[in-house]
Amino acid sequence: MIRIYLLTIILLMAVSGYSQDNIIIAKGEKVTKASGGYTFTEGPAVAPDGRVFFTDQPNDKIDVWSENGTITTFLHPCERSNGMYFNKKGELVTCADLHNRIVAFNMDGKQRILTENYEGKHLNGPNDLWIAPNGGIYLSDPYYHRDYWEADHKEIQDKRGVYYLNPEGKVIRVIDDYKQPNGLIGTPDGKTLYVSDINDGKIWKYTVNDDGTLSGKTLFAPEGSDGMTIDNEGNVYLANKFVSVFDKAGKKIAAIEVPEMPSNLCFGGKKRDILFITARTSVYTLKMKVKGVN
């Protein structure tokens, strides 16, 4: 009876898809703590050389993880940077919500402002971003109150939306029907965008049009997410209670447990085969079979 019971459990796992972890995770590898002692880690972004830059957002700091295990500080203060992404110039583009704007830092820490308003009004507080192959930037703009904002700070946008900053510097709102937009990621060909409505517990999939607008809204996954990333097989990774992984058809294939609740993730290392996970007070790594593409 025990053997039959065990076989039943194995079959149930296979049906659920979670036994497919070995398809994406390198053999024998486990989630490993890379560093701790932070207040709230966020915004991991892989540099061209494979290093991962990430924020300790409440402490207004950006640190850098290297594949050899070392972690150093890149910038402090950093305008309360949250979500981040490297552009083709090698600049670190960040959602800097101290003044509710998108900024770019070069590797000397010099800053330039990319945008800070929509139709003449300040953004609510940019949270996450993805840079398309053409250089256009998609950014989520929810509202999370910050105690470091000045007393007269107000939520000035009427919608908690998603915006597109085109390569010419014009900002348009492309999503305005979410409860609370958060993580987002696009495919490397720039044709598809995935966006999380975290308060509604859903991931939506869109077709990216030539002018940057979105169409074909389709439910992709019945789970919300903070940050998101994608691998070279088209699998989409969500940071929620676990690292939840859905294949490109929208089937859940893995739920990777992390000692702390994940907030965001990306693929790092020279081969882009190390999943780097920010999770509250710590950051974690996991060696993968698949590779990142962003």
Domain CATH number, residue 175: 2.120.10.30
One-letter amino acid of 18: Y
Domain count, the chain: 1
Looking at the domain assignment, is residue 166 inside a domain? yes
| pLDDT value of position 151 | 75
Q: Specify the pLDDT at position 11.
A: 36
Residue 8 forms part of a structural domain:
no
Is 148 inside any structural domain? yes
Q: CA-CA distance, 70 to 92, in Å (whole number)?
A: 20
Q: Tokens 């690292």 correspond to what residue? A: 243
Give CA 231 to chain center in angstroms: 13
108 is in which domain, residue-wise?
Answer: 20-287
Alpha-carbon distances, residue 91 vs 107, 212, 230 (angstroms):
7, 22, 21
Distance, CA of 14 to CA of 23 (rounded, Å) = 12
Structure confidence at residue 283 (pLDDT):
98
Q: Is residue 3 situated within a structural domain?
A: no
Q: Give a yes or no: residue 40 inside a domain.
A: yes
Is residue 2 a part of any domain in this protein?
A: no
State how far the Cα of 236 lies from the Cα of 227, in Å rounded to an integer.
Answer: 11
Helix-strand-coil percent breakdown of the chain, rounded to 5? 10, 45, 45
How far is C-alpha 3 from the chain's CA centre? 42
Instruction: Render each residue's pLDDT in the chain as its tens digit; 294 residues.
Output: 444 433 333 333 443 445 455 799 999 999 999 999 999 999 999 999 999 999 999 999 999 999 999 999 999 999 999 999 999 999 999 999 999 999 999 999 999 999 999 998 889 999 999 999 999 999 999 999 888 888 777 667 889 999 999 999 999 999 999 999 999 999 999 999 999 999 999 999 999 999 999 999 999 999 999 999 999 999 999 999 999 999 999 999 999 999 999 999 999 999 999 999 999 999 999 999 999 997
